[in-house]
Structure 1
Amino acid sequence: MEHLEPELERMFARMPSLGSMGIQTFFCGPESFTPDGRPHLGPVPEVQGVFAATGMNSNGILNSGGVGLTMAEWLIDGSPSRSMGPLLATRAHPFQANTRYNQDRAAESVGIHYGLHWPGHQVRSARGVRRVPLHHELESAGACFAERIGWEVPMYFDTEGGGWVDAPSLRRKPWSHFVQQECIAARDAAVLVDQSMYAKIVVQGPDAWRALDRVCGARMDVEPGVSVYTQFLNQRGGIEADVTVTRLSEDRFIVVTGHPSQIRDQQHIRQHADADMRFELFDATSAHCLLTIHGPKSREILQGLSLDDFSSEAFPFGGARLVDLAYARGWVIRRSFLGELGYEMLFPTEFAAGLYEAICEAGRPLGLRHMGMFGLNACRIEKGFRHFGHDIGEEDTPYETGLGFAVDLSKAGFVGRERLAAQKEREAPATRWRTVSVKVHGLTAGEGPYLIHNEPVWRDGGIVGFVTSGDWGFRVEAMVGLASLHCGDGVSLDWIVAGRFEVQIAGEMYPLKVQLAPFYDPKGEIMRG
């Protein structure tokens, strides 16, 4: 009771009548806390037909009604009526069954559960569990790391040696000037990003393309050497994953997806495949590094390390080639999540250090810098690129989120096709929900406040949507974001042009510019140049 006395005294001071009631019942029981502080709900990946509803993090009674309804829908209808992405049991990774990891992290989860949260807030327990092959090299270059599903992820590079600063703020962050330098380098020279923590799933076998064709909106029967941007879909046409699929050979593909989706995306492919399909899945995440280079000097840097032709004519956007770089051989895919001229390099892990050193040496005279995830995020928002989990999810269809170009309705039999075909016919030319690019007038990088997530968007005095992600755009010098807007008659261009939009940030209203195209390189000419 000693550790409860200070809290009881405060309670009695606020409500004096409690002081004379006495303690009628004292109960102390076990609580279940998960590593990320969220419940585990839904089908488990290991055994077909087994469902979990556990890990309520001291909110079991509070959550019981919603959990009961959701689990009933899952068991009876095959899927819940609302998005369960953050709570899926399949989000858990195998290493998170480690007892010591759970003991150390659960103790901190309790505090996080009852504490305040802010952008950049970091966990302190069970760190260093998973590291990219170049962890120490990046650390020497000034990388400041954050934890994501056990991974130590470089968020920005402190070239002054100050290290990570964990300070609550809705305005300019202590690391903002480093992120600015990285973003400007991406625009004017080149940046190198280590994305090796991203999941890489090899799908191979005679029916590999059919298994992928079943869950993807885009057509998978492409020629070897082609990379396809697509979404995994559910029966409602909602987005279950946002991926690239590269055909390496006639019967071999590699799927690159976000690191939190490493387990759930494999489960989604298996769940929807026919029993007689001949294919296998191999989790190749640890087998390959994923280094990406972006910016106008990126082609020159890679060309200097290879006898292969990196010109646009020989290596167009969306192409994939098995090439020599320095003393290594691996796959290079021409894509960029920053909206710049860019390349993704998938090489066997043992070549990571040598390739990294060669790129840094070749790029140093051309202004090459390291970039972390904060910079990558700011650039992709400027370019209007969607992020799974923030801008798109299980309840959003490609047509509602501006990704209809990645759906091929002429392809028969893929998951969600009927729902998408009906939506396109019923809601054309403008869907009732639509993802748009937004820019806030009157804010500065220094003073903010910053767009982050879930700020309400108003049109002519009424709420019509919310911000899905936002940040300061250093290339366009403005506060930019993505937002999901709703109109019963369709979010059309005319409806957008005719409206007066505002966004509410930290309790204050600011005028908002809304448009369908991104604010940075709206025609995609830089990325495809």
Structure 2
Amino acid sequence: MSLPSSSKIIIIGGGIIGCSTAYHLAQMGHEVLLLEKAGLTSGSTWHAAGLVGQLRSNANVTQLLGYSIELYNRLEEETGLATGWKMNGGLRLACNQERWTEVKRQATTAHSFGLDMQLLTPQEAQDLWPLMDISDIVGAAFLPTDGQASPSDITQALARGARNGGAKLVENCPVTEILTEKGKLVGVRTPQGDVSCEKLVLCCGQWTRDLAATIGVTVPLVSVEHQYMITEPFGVPSDLPTLRDPDRLTYYKEEVGGLVMGGYEPNGIPWAEKGIPDPFDFQLLESNFDHFEQLVELALPRVPKLADAGVKQLLNGPESFTPDGNFILGEAPEMANVFIGAGFNAFGIASGGGAGMALAEWVAKGAPPYDLWPVDIRRFGRPHTDTDWVRARTLEAYGKHYTMAWPSEEHQSGRPCRRSPLYSTLKESGAVFGEKLGWERPNWFAEAGEEARDIYTFERPNWHGPVGREHTAARESAVLFDQTSFAKFILTGPDAEAALQYIASNRVDKPVGSIIYTQMLNDHGGIECDLTCVRTREDEYYIVTGTGYATHDFDWIKRNIPQGMNAELVDVTSSNAVLSLFGPKARDILQAVTNDDVSDGSHPFGRAHRIGIAGCPVLAMRITYVGELGWELHLPAEYAQTVYDALHTAGAPLGLRNAGYRAIETLRLEKGYRAWGSDIGPDHTPDEAGLGWAVKMKSNIPFRGRDAVAKQRKDGIKKIMATFTTDPDVILSGRETIYRNGKRCGWLSSAGFGHTIGKSIGMGYVRSETPIDRDYVLSGKYELEVATVRVPADVSVAPLYDPKMEKVKV
């Protein structure tokens, strides 16, 4: 097929993701050209194992995988091509009590998201999968709508569907260069000529990273060898469910009367560290029997007949994996109109239908169909530009594919990477660090006689007591948090106010020194950013947001500065340290180290003043995320140690204590403060989240999302954020199902323990098919499903703790 000289949209890569994206764009009526350097499926698609599971820890990613199954159910009839799709269900085993707890929590998550995951006895599991030995099994979970597919067949069916919709798919046409002019995409170069385009979609699997890097786009994925064994036929029933045996690190599916058996070894082998050889199409790597032996040894006790089965092939094919085990979708923050769909961590077939649908909508409409933050390319940041760091973290994630998914578990590889100036001081003080976007952040502080490390469990963890100690200090005396990892930007220029007024939903035309808490909304009224702005000058704002949202929020603000406005956004994250001083004695401590007046009359809530501490210029922001009197102190990084020492010297007689991020979490839950990425996000509006007070609807000032908010206020809202409390012995970790009057109505978006109120706390939306109000929420009788067991819960739409009341609301 000859190439056109131009196409509105070009997709590079003819695997399942590229073909699915082309299929969905064509279905939407868009002009699409797909270019594949060899033949369709020639990358990792053709040698994928083909298991299709749905359940993930995020509702929308689960929904995306569910769409894959809906598509696969109809694709063969629609296109006339066989897909090999079988909805034969999926089994997951548990071989010890901790794994059984995890499985029961997964079952509750499935119920929260509307999936029928059933818990089975060992005998019931064996009835479904008679080939296995069940002597060590505690229980199992069965998801009837899971299944398996033929990856190449599904891809070819998607390709035919794309062609039927008008898309052009050209094989044996490599893209040798992405063409840009003045930093903007203009097209691609191939041996058959140049093709101009308006939008480019990179679905090139393990080749995506290097191709994207040629135009300055970071795609953090690396290749890892992945092996599975295909046996000769030995009477395996064709309707056998897929099987995952995570305690033995292995998975199984039926294939032509035999079995496919693979797994995720703890010592994965990276591939192509110096670059992918060329050509590498429809090729495999040399079988590594020695390395695979560890999985065979784990598999044989589970499926004894494997010992006598002939081995047809030990297939070794490279797959692209990512540092957090999630795939990568979305528009590249470094260049407009360049989109990525890659890094599928060996579940590209399960994701293929949904990922292609979501990516197609992203390309066509500028946004995904729903919040896909867990897979959004903007979740990455500075450490991910270094491939060595990415490889170290990815190999750890690969090795954890089937290990226990502990609550609050931290990665260990590639650490320490980004460090606050106070890192060594805090470590000497007993800090136990976590990591986010490469930053080392103290999670909690151990005292003498306490082991300064996380010990993971589904019960109350070893840090529960220390976090309670820090929590109590915040409520009764004072604590100091090192929050240097906050992402910090400056928006400056003659049009800074006008630009921010359009992007932000709250008013920003405030006097210099004002702190503005605001959301930034999309066209549906959903919350894209949740942050704090300080008006530092008439033509300048200092913007502070969460550590993990640095890339996302910078990208959102920069892209939404109206065309023609003179305003520039600059990232100053690394320039400033942040020390947050909170607690009823915070003012006494701060006043002891500065000559500036920090009394309530001189420095009221919601104001930022420049003060001096020990020779350091400090931007003191009177604001709180823990519900107590306090200040965020933003200062040049080189002064951090000096100011930290001064505060501790003054605070020691008043009970000042170091505290970590896990205490922030428990404190904010008691106050009902929302967290972006869990409680609020693009699928939630301010009114649904209880944040409507921060939206400037009483003004006539236009802003993005205003029309959607106005429409929703006219039509009513169908979900409302609420806080739930349960008995302190009930351990909540998030995603527990919410029942109102016996009917499922939502799930917990975040959860923890309130050390002041002495109860377990969860936050989540009460949902309805018709408009509801606060009275509706409060009039219900509630239960939470926790690891498949329902427990009674109380509901509140107000903070559980208010320091002004000197008591708690329950």
Partner of 1:400: 688
Which stretch shows the higher mean deviation, 89-98 or 508-517? Answer: 89-98
Partner of 1:193: 481
SS of aligned partner of 1:120: coil
Partner of 1:65: 353
**Which residue among 410, 417, 436 is the counterpart of 2:706?**
417
Displacement after TM superposition at 1:149 (Å): 1.3
TM-score with structure 1 length normalisation?
Answer: 0.94
Partner of 2:672: 384
Change (3 A) 1:65 1:178: same
Q: In the TM superposition, what whole-angstrom CA distance separates every residue of 1:58-115 from its partner, at most 9, and x where no partner exists?
A: 1111111111001110111221111111111122113312122122112111012222
Aligned-partner Cα distance in 2 for 1:403–1:89: 27
**Which residue among 766, 769, 777 is the counterpart of 1:488?**
769
Aligned-partner Cα distance in 1 for 2:371–2:414: 29
1:513 aligns with 2:797: no
What is the letter of the counterpart of residue 319 of structure 1? Answer: R
Aligned-partner Cα distance in 2 for 1:523–1:232: 30
Partner of 1:93: 381
1:182 aligns with 2:463: no
Partner of 1:462: 743
- Conserved in 1, the CA contact under 8 Å of 2:626 and 2:671? yes
SS of aligned partner of 1:82: coil
What is the letter of the counterpart of residue 195 of structure 1? Answer: Q
- Gaps in structure 1 of 5+ consecutive residues: none
SS of aligned partner of 2:594: coil
Aligned-partner Cα distance in 1 for 2:329–2:805: 40
1:351 aligns with 2:639: yes
Displacement after TM superposition at 1:522 (Å): 8.2
Superposed counterparts of 1:425-504, under 5 Å: 425-427=714-716, 431-440=717-726, 443-444=727-728, 448-504=729-785
Change (3 A) 1:523 1:438: farther
1:366 aligns with 2:654: yes
**Which residue among 523, 529, 554 is the counterpart of 1:235?**
523
Partner of 1:281: 569
Aligned-partner Cα distance in 2 for 1:107–1:345: 38
Displacement after TM superposition at 1:275 (Å): 2.6
What is the letter of the counterpart of residue 158 of structure 1? Answer: A
- Conserved in 2, the CA contact under 8 Å of 1:142 and 1:161? no
Displacement after TM superposition at 1:6 (Å): 5.3
Change (3 A) 1:251 1:268: same
SS of aligned partner of 2:686: coil
1:52 aligns with 2:340: yes
Displacement after TM superposition at 1:498 (Å): 2.7
**Which residue among 494, 497, 500 is the counterpart of 1:206?**
494
Aligned-partner Cα distance in 1 for 2:758–2:291: 51
Partner of 2:401: 113
Change (3 A) 1:525 1:286: farther
What is the letter of the counterpart of residue 423 of structure 1? Answer: Q
- Conserved in 2, the CA contact under 8 Å of 1:233 and 1:415? yes
SS of aligned partner of 1:392: coil
SS of aligned partner of 2:311: coil
Q: Which has the higher contact order (CA 8 A, sep 6+)?
A: 1
Change (3 A) 1:413 1:493: closer
- Conserved in 2, the CA contact under 8 Å of 1:238 and 1:395? yes
Displacement after TM superposition at 1:335 (Å): 0.6
Displacement after TM superposition at 1:303 (Å): 0.9
- Conserved in 1, the CA contact under 8 Å of 2:628 and 2:803? no
SS of aligned partner of 1:184: helix
Aligned-partner Cα distance in 2 for 1:113–1:124: 15
What is the letter of the counterpart of residue 426 of structure 1? Answer: D
- Gaps in structure 2 of 5+ consecutive residues: 1-288
Displacement after TM superposition at 1:395 (Å): 0.5
Partner of 2:193: none
Change (3 A) 1:389 1:244: same
What is the letter of the counterpart of residue 709 of structure 2? Answer: L
TM-score with structure 2 length normalisation?
Answer: 0.62
SS of aligned partner of 1:170: coil
Which stretch shows the higher mean deviation, 165-174 or 266-275? Answer: 165-174
- Conserved in 1, the CA contact under 8 Å of 2:432 and 2:454? no
- Conserved in 2, the CA contact under 8 Å of 1:382 and 1:481? no
What is the letter of the counterpart of residue 515 of structure 1? Answer: S
Aligned-partner Cα distance in 2 for 1:482–1:492: 17
SS of aligned partner of 2:771: coil
Superposed counterparts of 1:197-346, under 5 Å: 197-346=485-634
Q: In the TM superposition, what whole-angstrom CA distance separates every residue of 1:159-208 from its partner, at most 9, and x where no partner exists?
A: 12534433332321101111111111111110001100010011111111
What is the letter of the counterpart of residue 112 of structure 1? Answer: K
Aligned-partner Cα distance in 2 for 1:265–1:475: 33
Aligned-partner Cα distance in 2 for 1:269–1:233: 11
- Conserved in 2, the CA contact under 8 Å of 1:170 and 1:449? no
Change (3 A) 1:473 1:92: same
Aligned-partner Cα distance in 1 for 2:298–2:778: 55
What is the letter of the counterpart of residue 497 of structure 1? Answer: L
Displacement after TM superposition at 1:21 (Å): 5.7
- Conserved in 1, the CA contact under 8 Å of 2:383 and 2:390? no
- Conserved in 2, the CA contact under 8 Å of 1:171 and 1:449? no
- Conserved in 1, the CA contact under 8 Å of 2:592 and 2:650? yes
Aligned-partner Cα distance in 2 for 1:412–1:25: 67
Aligned-partner Cα distance in 1 for 2:303–2:660: 50
- Conserved in 2, the CA contact under 8 Å of 1:144 and 1:163? no
Which stretch shows the higher mean deviation, 100-109 or 7-16? Answer: 7-16
What is the letter of the counterpart of residue 725 of structure 2? Answer: K
SS of aligned partner of 1:425: helix
Which of 1 and 2 has greater Rg? 2
Change (3 A) 1:495 1:137: same
1:132 aligns with 2:420: yes
Aligned length: 518
- Conserved in 1, the CA contact under 8 Å of 2:445 and 2:452? no
SS of aligned partner of 1:299: helix
